[in-house]
Amino acid sequence: MRHKRVEKKFGRSKAHREALLASLVTNLILRDRILTTLPKAKETRRDAEKMVRLARKGTLAARRLAAARLRRPAAVARLFGTVVPALTSHTSGYTRIVKTGRRRGDGAEMAIIEWVTFVPPVPVTPESDAKTVEAADVAAADKKTKA
């Protein structure tokens, strides 16, 4: 019996469902907002808020648990370094879900899930951008000379 069981199954196996939700939470952390179906957004909200509560502890154990769940070092670094500091003024309710209407193909209810507080993106200055371009030019020139 499923008494008091809250999570949706989405017609997937447990491993497939866990991978789906981990991917959605990872993309939310990396991109600040994602477009998905409403039921998936609601499940993603649960996991994303758990990840923020975990990251607020700031311990090594918390970082390892987040790394095990998110499976991408860039997402873990962004969660601990950018997302959590931007959400320090909140004690809960870190995400919002905005309904966007129905998908044309199958009529599924769509929604955008995003962080409540604006999370600043990684700063890109013209100098750092120019250095990246210079490094790419140098690498390309090295390839031509070796070939």
Residue 52 lies inside a defined structural domain of this protein: yes
The secondary structure of residue 114, as a DSSP letter, is: E
Residue 44 lies in a domain: yes
pLDDT higher for 132 or 120?
Answer: 120
pLDDT digits (tens, 9 = 90+) for 35-80: 999 999 999 999 999 999 999 999 999 999 999 999 999 999 999 9
Buried b (16+ CB within 10 A) or exposed e, 99-119: eeeeeeeeeeebbebbbeeeb
Asked if residues 26 and 70 have their Cβ atoms less than 8 Å apart, the reply is yes
Confidence of residue 118 (pLDDT cuts 50, 70, 90): confident
Query: Rounded to the nearest 10 degrees, what angle do helices 38-57 and 60-70 cross at?
Result: 160
CB–CB of 113/28 below 8 Å? Answer: yes
- Per DSSP, the residues of 1-16 read --TT-----TT--HHH
Determine, yes or no, domain membership for 142. Answer: no
Q: What pLDDT is attached to residue 127?
A: 59
**Domain presence at residue 132:** no
Q: Is the pLDDT of residue 26 over 90?
A: yes
Residue 138 lies in a domain: no
Residue 30 lies in a domain: yes
Q: Supply the range of the domain harboring residue 109.
A: 14-122
Whether 93 has a pLDDT exceeding 90, the answer reads: yes
- Percent of the chain's residues with pLDDT above 90: 72
Domains contained in the chain, number: 1
Question: Is there a domain that residue 129 lies in?
Answer: no
Residue 36 lies in a domain: yes
For residue 113, give the CATH number of its domain: 3.90.1030.10
Say what the pTM is. 0.77
pLDDT for 12: 93
